[in-house]
C-alpha cells in the first residue's frame, strides 16, 4: 500500500512540475530568454515583437548593450522604428482599402543604426546594403514591411550566359566534369555538381547552354583554406550554406540559414547575399524586396551565432527549426 501511495505522490509532484514549467514557459514570452531560444521563424518574429512592445525607451537602450547580438541588433532597429513618425495623412491612407502608402523612415536614425551595426560587429557592412538601409521606406502601422529602392538600383549581381546570377565579387566558369570553378580575386575553388544538381532547369524548358533555373543566385566567400557558398533563390524561404575545403572540395560543414521570405531577381524584388568575416565568425548580410537581415555563423562548424531581421516570415518553418 505504501508503494502505491508513494507512486501516486510522485505522479502528483511530476504533474505539478510539468504544469509549473509550462506556465513559466508561456509566462516568459516578451523576454530576452524567449527570443534567444525561439527557432521557428514565425514564432521568432512574434517573440521579438512582444519583447519590444513592452519595453520602455530606457530598456531598449539597455538591450543595445546586451551580450547577445540577437538582442542588441533588434534593439537598435527598434530605436529606428520609434524615431519614425507616421503623420495623420499617412494614417488616414493606411486605414483605406488598397495598397498601403510608403513613407520615409527617419534618416538620422537609420544612419545611427548603420553606425551601431558596424561598431557592434566590428565589420563594415556591404556598400549596397548600407545605401539601401540608409534610404529605407516603410509600410503600415508596425513598420515591418520595407521598401528599399536603393537596393533595386544597385543589386550586386550579374547574370551569366549559362543562367546563374553571380555576385559581382566573383567570376564563375563551368567545368567539363559538371562542377563550377568560382574565382574571387587571386583565390578559386571548385564547387562539385552535387550542390546544384537540383537547380537545373526542366529539360523541356531548357535553352542551349542554360544550366540553372531562373532566379538562382550564387554568393561565396573564401580564404586560403575554405570556401563558403550558397545557391539562393530570388524569392527565398531560406537557403543552404556550405563550407568546403578550397583545394580538395571536401565538405567541412553545411547548415540552413534564414527563412527570410520575399525577394526575386525580377519584377522589382531582389535577394542579395554578401559575407563578412570577423575572427572565427562569418556574417551574412542579406536583403530582399521588403526586408533585410544579418545572420552570424561559426566558421568552425556552421553553428548559428545570432539572428537579426527586420521581419520574419517563412514558408518553410520545418527547415527553420533544424
Give me the tens of pLDDT residue by residue for the chain, a chain 322 residues long: 455 545 544 445 445 444 444 444 456 778 999 989 887 767 888 888 899 998 999 999 999 999 999 999 999 999 999 998 776 665 555 556 555 667 888 999 999 999 999 999 999 999 999 999 999 988 766 677 787 876 766 778 988 999 899 999 999 999 999 999 999 999 999 999 999 998 888 765 556 677 888 788 899 999 999 999 999 887 655 789 999 999 999 999 999 887 555 444 444 457 889 999 999 999 999 987 778 899 999 999 999 999 998 887 554 444 444 4
Cα-flanking dihedrals φ and ψ of residue 25, to 5°?
Answer: -65, -45
End-to-end CA distance of the chain: 47
The secondary element (H helix, E strand) that includes residue 187 is strand 187-191
Cell numbers representing residue 245 in the block: 575545403
- Cβ atoms of residues 234 and 271 within 8 Å: yes
DSSP-assigned letters across all residues of 219-268 = EEEE-SSEEEEEEEESS-S-EEEEEEETTT--EEEEEEE-------SSTT
The secondary element (H helix, E strand) that includes residue 161 is none
Nearest to 133 by CA among 115, 157, 151: 151
Q: How far apart are CA 165 and CA 231, in angstroms?
A: 9
Who contacts 127 (Cβ-Cβ below 8 Å, separation ≥6)?
none
Sign of dihedral through CA atoms 133, 312, 220, 77? positive
Specify the pLDDT at position 103. Answer: 80
Q: Is residue 315 part of a domain?
A: yes
Specify the pLDDT at position 89. Answer: 62
CA 292 to chain centre: 7
Cell numbers representing residue 256 in the block: 540552413
Q: Is residue 88 part of a domain?
A: yes
Q: Is residue 37 part of a domain?
A: no
- Cβ atoms of residues 189 and 199 within 8 Å: no
Q: How far apart are CA 23 and CA 10, in angstroms?
A: 20
Number of domains in the chain: 1
Q: Is residue 5 part of a domain?
A: no
Q: Is residue 153 part of a domain?
A: yes
Sign of dihedral through CA atoms 188, 253, 259, 216? positive
Specify the pLDDT at position 267. Answer: 40
DSSP, res 277: E
Cell numbers representing residue 309 in the block: 531581421
Q: Dihedral through CA 296, CA 252, CA 232, CA 152, nearest 10?
A: 50
Q: Is residue 81 part of a domain?
A: yes
The secondary element (H helix, E strand) that includes residue 119 is helix 107-121
The CA distances from residue 128 to 56, 66, 149, in Å, are 33, 28, 11
Q: Is residue 62 part of a domain?
A: no
Give the residue numbers spanning the domain of 119. Answer: 68-322
Specify the pLDDT at position 96. Answer: 62
Q: Is residue 52 part of a domain?
A: no
Q: How far apart are CA 313 and CA 322, in angstroms?
A: 16
Specify the pLDDT at position 205. Answer: 55
Amino acid at each position: 500500500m505504501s508503494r502505491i501511495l508513494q507512486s501516486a505522490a510522485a505522479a502528483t509532484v511530476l504533474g505539478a512540475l510539468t504544469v509549473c514549467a509550462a506556465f513559466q514557459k508561456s509566462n516568459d514570452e516578451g523576454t530576452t530568454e524567449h527570443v534567444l531560444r525561439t527557432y521557428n521563424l514565425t514564432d521568432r518574429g512574434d517573440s521579438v515583437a512582444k519583447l519590444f512592445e513592452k519595453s520602455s525607451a530606457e530598456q531598449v537602450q539597455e538591450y543595445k548593450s546586451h551580450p547577445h547580438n540577437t538582442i542588441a541588433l533588434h534593439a537598435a532597429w527598434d530605436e529606428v522604428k520609434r524615431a519614425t513618425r507616421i503623420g495623420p495623412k499617412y494614417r488616414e491612407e493606411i486605414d483605406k482599402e488598397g495598397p498601403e502608402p510608403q513613407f520615409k523612415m527617419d534618416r538620422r536614425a537609420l544612419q545611427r543604426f548603420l553606425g551601431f551595426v558596424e561598431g557592434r560587429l566590428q565589420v563594415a557592412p556591404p556598400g549596397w546594403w548600407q545605401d539601401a538601409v540608409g534610404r529605407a521606406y516603410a509600410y503600415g502601422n508596425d513598420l515591418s514591411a520595407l521598401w528599399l529602392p536603393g537596393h533595386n538600383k544597385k543589386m550586386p549581381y550579374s547574370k551569366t550566359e549559362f543562367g546563374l546570377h553571380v555576385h559581382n565579387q566573383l567570376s564563375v566558369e563551368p567545368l567539363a566534369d559538371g562542377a563550377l570553378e568560382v574565382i574571387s580575386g587571386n583565390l578559386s575553388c571548385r564547387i562539385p555538381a552535387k550542390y546544384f544538381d537540383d537547380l537545373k532547369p526542366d529539360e523541356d524548358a531548357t535553352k542551349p547552354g542554360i544550366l540553372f533555373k531562373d532566379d538562382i543566385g550564387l554568393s561565396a566567400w573564401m580564404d586560403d583554406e575554405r570556401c563558403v557558398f550558397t545557391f539562393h533563390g530570388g524569392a527565398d524561404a531560406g537557403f543552404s550554406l556550405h563550407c568546403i575545403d578550397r583545394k580538395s572540395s571536401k565538405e567541412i560543414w553545411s547548415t540552413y540559414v534564414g527563412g527570410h521570405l520575399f525577394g526575386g531577381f525580377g519584377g522589382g524584388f531582389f535577394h542579395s547575399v554578401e559575407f563578412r568575416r570577423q575572427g572565427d565568425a562569418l556574417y551574412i548580410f542579406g536583403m530582399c524586396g521588403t526586408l533585410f537581415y544579418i545572420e552570424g555563423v561559426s566558421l568552425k562548424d556552421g553553428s548559428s551565432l545570432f539572428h537579426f531581421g527586420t521581419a520574419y516570415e517563412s514558408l518553410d518553418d520545418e527547415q527553420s527549426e533544424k
